[in-house]
Amino acid sequence: MARAKAAPEGLRQARTRKRYEGRRQEVADIAARVFAERGYDATSIDDLVEATGLQRGGLYHYMEGKKDLLIRIHGRFIEPLLDESREICAAAQPPDVALRLLARALMGNIDRYRDQVTVFFNEWRMIEHDPEWTEIRASRKEFADMIDSVLERGAREGVFTISDRRMTLFAFLGMLNYSHQWFDPGGRVAATEVADHFCDIFLQGITTR
């Protein structure tokens, strides 16, 4: 009998946890929008209370503080980006194809999570000395390392001519990462088109041959 009761109780706990995590993520998403519009420093707890519709005590049920929200905001976009990028790299595509797919993954991520990306790049210094920064750096390094491995393989196979791979990596990341400053998810150019256009410039250059 005890074992029979344990399963429903465990199921209820799992459902409660899922609802809590869903609401917690919703609060972080709302915070990302408010931070993107007003700036992190200019946003007060009262602003977040108003935006979420929660009481102050209810808000703190879903967050430890504003810095906690920044950490969750980063996780919101980096985790799906890493998942998609791992799949691309595991497929062993030709280097130029893999690089284009990684660019599309990154631009698609910016398209879906523009508020979160904008807030992170604007406010990351607020959390760079926190214990969680080690994990954040590791996740960002993993993505950069995947791109670097494609560049290395392309150079080794004679597909790419690269004089300085580190500088090439930074150029690729900088070109795409900071598109959040001007890219309009509802604008005339889709995220995939931006990625392809940037890759054409990156892979072919702009000199007439």
- pLDDT band per the 50, 70, 90 thresholds, residue 15: confident
Q: Which tens digit of pLDDT belongs to each residue from 179-197? A: 999 999 888 999 999 999 9
Cβ distance 184 to 107 under 8 Å?
no
- Whether residue 112 is predicted with pLDDT greater than 80 in this model: the reply is yes
Domain ranges across the chain:
1-63, 66-209
Residue ranges in 39-113 assigned as alpha helix (H): 45-52, 56-61, 66-90, 95-112
Among 203, 148, 206, 201, residue whose Cα is nearest residue 173 = 148
Q: Which CATH class is domain 66-209?
A: mainly alpha
Percent of the chain whose predicted confidence (pLDDT) is above 90: 78
Q: Which tens digit of pLDDT belongs to each residue from 50-107? A: 999 989 998 899 888 899 999 999 999 999 999 999 999 999 899 999 999 999 999 9
pLDDT of residue 206: 54
Q: Is the pTM of this model over 0.85?
A: yes
φ, ψ for residue 93, nearest 5 deg: -70, 160
pLDDT of residue 1: 45
Q: Which tens digit of pLDDT belongs to each residue from 126-181? A: 999 999 999 999 999 999 999 999 999 999 999 999 999 999 999 999 999 999 99
CATH topology agreement for domains 1-63 and 66-209 = no
10: exposed, middle or buried (Cβ count in 10 Å: 0-12, 13-18, 19+) = exposed
CATH of domain 1-63: 1.10.10.60
